[in-house]
A and B are shown apart, each in its own frame.
Chain A
Amino acid sequence: MSFKILTVSIQNEQDVVLARQRARELAALLGLERGDQTRLATAVSEIARNAYQYGGGGKAEFSLEGGAAPQLFLIRISDAGAGIANLEEVLAGRRRSGNGLGLGISGARRLVDQFEIRSSRSGTAVVLKKMLPPGSPLLRPERLMAMADELIRGRPADPYQEIQQQNQELLAALDELRQRQEELALLNSELEDTNRGVVALYAELDEKADHLRRADEIKSRFLSNMSHEFRTPLNSITALTGLLLGRSDGDLTPEQEKQVSLIRKGAQDLTELVNDLLDLAKVEAGKIVIRPAEFEVANLFGALRGMLRPLLINENLKLIFEEPQGIPPVYSDEGKVSQILRNFISNALKYTERGEVRVAAAFDAEKQVVTFRVSDTGIGIAREDQERIFQEFSQLDHPIQKKVKGTGLGLPLSRRLAELLGGSLRVESRPGVGSTFHAAIPVLYQPVEPMTPAAAVTLDESRLPVLVVEDNPETAFIYEKFLKGSPFQMLPVRTVREAHSVMKAVRPSAIVLDILLPGEDAWVFLAELKSDPNTSWIPVLVVTGVDDRRKVMALGADAYCIKPVERRWLVDQLTVFTNPDRRRILIVDDDEASRYLLRRALPGRLVIEAGGGREGLRLAVERQPQVIFLDLKLPDLSGFEVLEKLKEDPQTRDIPVIVVTSRVLEPQESRRLAAFAEAILSKQDLSPEAVSHALATPRREEGSQEAEGEQHD
């Protein structure tokens, strides 16, 4: 029976010293006399040195053997070296050299009571035993444990040893530090590799994002084009059934009227869907124009109440508009805000079977935001679906959902519109309890791009824009008075430079030009206007103090007047030069329905029609119409080709062309058309007003035509 006291690992020279010190200290604690302490320590020193030097390191285990006196102090020193080849010789002391080399094992053997050695190729183990002196007390394991503790905790006695120990600790710490540093360097290079990978990934991501952007753009364009393709026949159906129902071609039987009404209803529903799609595509393509104006929330609510009452067919459901209080006038796009609220309300009405739909508005003075709120007591929306409803074409799975129809486009469109107005939407909802939709709209709409002077003037759709270039504010004021209440809207500018910038945004129907402008050359401006085929058709009225009628007329001015000008002269001249009457008109369109609608929109005029491009070209030469209405999609030649041929031929070059299209045009298409065509007319609205407006205001920008297309609802 033996009790292990402690073990010393032998990995370096210092450990050899430690082993022999422990041996001596333990021997003292166990009661061995001083001579034996030294003998034992010396023996351990010899064997431990061998274990370190020849065995490559090992360990020394100290234990006490025996349960009764006399107990044996037992030290076992082992290593995992290659073993001792000539053990016999060594033990016999025959290998002893002159100055004591090689006497370690044989010497140690003499210093202890019992000595055992076992050596093989896988290591050497030496056991040294020393008997405790007779009469020494029996040592129990607890006492041995305490001894070991005492030794291990014992601090080195003298300062030198202390320093030595600290030195060693320092060396160990330095070594550790070096290892850390190496690890760090390794880590660093690993990080560098990772970094390179990240950079590569980043580039890849960039590329992917670019692809996505392009795909998105293509999607928007596709959506917009497709929508227009759908719209053309739908518009025809709506317009034609309108004519039928208006009895313009004779009476209908009640049954026929019912059928035609159903056809009309179907076409309108389909148009609505297409319009939603188109709106979305337009927002995405950035083509929606914001028209800010000041309006009162109370008035908006009034209009909404009137508009939405017809939707309220369920008597278990109430639609309540709370009286708005303390809300300042809002400067934003009323039409867009109304569209968002209509959407909220019609959704709320759709998904609420009983209870109420409440509409309210609140003003946050700090953020300068009006928050509109539409709450219902309907089916509600689960939390996980609350973001999804703002995605295109998503609808939730619910029994009530199957009963009501919808495109799933309303909320996404509303969100985009709110964002365009600088606001945001959010929803709070609990399934089965109800939902509340919030739309926060800034009180003051801040356009993203700075406005041009011309855009600052709100264009009046019902009047013809007349650009007045006049530096004298009094004269400009007089002109404004003159034109007030006339069919002409004045766009006042003070310099030629301003005139140029306005003309980039708006095609005026006529220009009133003062020749004497400070620091400007109005002559050059006039000559440019008249030599540029894009602007040569614009009538220019020169009103000036310079008496040089010949020069003015030679440069191409259409009328000339020496100041002061009279109201009657100005209005008369403008009327004459912008009068669209007495024009023979050629319609080139393969779609019979479109031709028919256009013809009906031009009552009392001489209309000639062509079903294809070649026929149209022939008629243009033969009949010399004053204006040509040209469809861009023709069976034989494209509209662009027809247009180019018309403009190449000197016989037809000067005939204004109004392009009729059902598509949203690409910018480059618009530019191409703008070079030749006088105006672009949307097939969506071929009403007499729109057509005569196009005739009266040739060369209007596509943007303002498009703007009309947004007013559907």
Chain B
Amino acid sequence: MERIPILKMGEFLLVTIQVDMHDRLALALQDDLTQRIVDTSARGVLIDISALDVVDSFIGRTLGNIAAMSRILDAETVVVGMRPAVAITLVELGLPLHGVRTALDVEKGMGLLRKAVAGRRPGDGYRAQ
């Protein structure tokens, strides 16, 4: 079965969704990503959806779930590159993606992640010692 590739960049994981995902593929990404966070002790996840024309309720919900789960695993999630039409549609659909941090592009997203991680370092969030 096909998979969405997950790249490791330092202490962050980088996911670039290039294809129009069907539901199972989205769920697989969710599983893979949480596993990789645990395996690599990643502190942040950056998901680039600039190639996506459509984000429907299921994919939107999956992105929300990924963000929530990462946070529990002590990793911040930033979704970058969302197209304006997609953003409009999500809102109209009634799915404003609460709890998901977003940025306009990858560079801004990385910056956001670094800041978030640096800010949290002393406290170390939920991670068990």
Interface residues of A (CB under 8 A from B): 13-14, 16-17, 20-21, 24, 34-35, 37-39, 41-42, 45-46, 49, 93, 96, 99-101, 103-104, 106-108, 110-111, 158, 160-161, 164, 167
A107 vs B55: C-alpha distance when bound (angstroms): 13
**Inter-subunit contact A45/B56 (CB<8 Å):** yes
> B79-113 vs A: 1/0 string, CB under 8 Å?
00001111011001111000000000000000000
Residues of B close to A100: CB separation below 8 A: 57, 60-61, 64, 94-95
Q: Within 8 Å of chain A (Cβ to Cβ): is B6?
A: no
Is residue B2 within 8 Å, beta carbon to beta carbon, of the partner chain? yes
Contacts of A107 in B (CB 8 A): 57, 92-95
The smallest C-beta distance from B61 to any residue of chain A, in angstroms, reads 5
A263 to B57, CA, bound (A): 121
Are the CB atoms of B18 and A160 closer together than 8 Å? yes
- In chain B, what residue has the closest Cβ to A108? B93
Q: Chain A nearest CB: distance from B49 CB in Å?
A: 12
Q: Are B93 and A110 in contact (CB under 8 A)?
A: yes
A164, closest chain B residue (CB): B2
A100 to B62, CA, bound (A): 10
Query: Contacts of A46 on B, CB cut-off 8 Å?
Result: 56-57, 93
A42/B89 contact (C-beta < 8 A), A20-B54, A24-B53, A99-B65 known: yes
Contacts of B21 in A (CB 8 A): 17
Partner of A99 from B22, B55, B64 at Cβ < 8 Å? B64
With A34-B85, A42-B89 as known contacts, state yes or no: A13 contacts B23, CB within 8 Å: yes
Residues A17 and B20 in contact in the complex (CB < 8 Å), given A34-B85, A42-B55, A100-B94: yes
Does B24 make an interface contact (CB < 8 A)?
yes
Whose C-beta in chain A lies nearest to the C-beta of B95?
A100
A42 to B19, Cβ gap below 8 A? no
Q: Give the distance in Å from the alpha carbon of A16 to the alpha carbon of B57 in the complex.
A: 13
Besides the contacts A24-B53, A24-B54, A38-B83, what 14 more A-B pairs have beta carbons closer than 8 Å? Answer: A13-B22, A13-B23, A35-B84, A38-B86, A39-B88, A42-B93, A46-B56, A49-B23, A49-B56, A111-B89, A111-B93, A160-B18, A160-B19, A161-B19
CB-CB < 8 A to A93: which residues of B?
Answer: 94
Asked if A42 contacts B18 (CB within 8 A), the reply is no
User: A42 to B56, Cβ gap below 8 A?
Assistant: yes
Q: Quick one: CB contact mask for B1-31 with A, threshold 8 Å, 1 for yes?
A: 0100000000000000011111111000000
B24 and A110 within 8 A (CB): no
Residue of A nearest to B1 (CB): A167
Q: In the assembly, what is the distance between CA of A639 and CA of B94, in Å?
A: 123
Interface of B (DSSP majority class)? helix
Q: Chain B residues near A111: list those with CB within 8 A.
A: 89, 92-93
**In the assembly, what is the distance between CA of A209 and CA of B56, in Å?**
79
| Contact sample, A vs B, 26 pairs, CB 8 Å cutoff | A13-B24, A16-B22, A17-B21, A20-B20, A21-B54, A24-B54, A38-B53, A38-B54, A38-B83, A38-B85, A38-B88, A39-B85, A39-B89, A39-B92, A41-B54, A45-B54, A45-B56, A46-B93, A49-B58, A100-B57, A100-B95, A103-B95, A104-B57, A110-B92, A111-B92, A160-B19
User: How far is B53's CA from A45's CA once the two chains are assembled, in angstroms?
Assistant: 12
Q: Which of A108, A110, A158 contacts B18 (CB 8 A)?
A: A158
Separation of A39 and B56 alpha carbons in the complex (Å): 9
Chain B residue with Cβ nearest A12? B22
> How many angstroms from the CA of A41 to the CA of B2 in the assembled complex?
23
Instruction: Decide if A14 touches B95 in the complex (CB within 8 Å).
Output: no
CA distance A160 to B89 in the complex (A): 26
Contacts of B54 in A (CB 8 A): 20-21, 24, 38, 41-42, 45
In the complex, which residue of chain A has the Cβ closest to the Cβ of B64?
A99
Docked-complex contact A103 and B22, CB < 8 angstroms: no
- Taking the nearest CB of chain A, how far is it from the CB of B62, in angstroms? 10
Known A-B contacts A41-B53, A100-B95; the reply to A14 vs B22 at CB < 8 A is yes
- Among B57, B83, B94, max chain A CB count under 10 A is at B57
Most chain A CB within 10 A, of B21, B23, B60, is at B23
**Complex-state Cα separation, A49 to B85, whole angstroms:** 21
Q: How far is the CB of B28 from chain A (nearest CB, A)?
A: 11
**Shortest distance between the CB of A462 and any CB in chain B (Å):** 104
- Residues on the A chain within 8 Å of B24, using CB: 13
Inside 8 A of A42's CB, which chain B residues have their CB?
54-57, 89, 93
Chain A residues, CB < 8 A from B57: 42, 46, 100, 103-104, 107
Nearest CB on B from A425, distance (A): 77
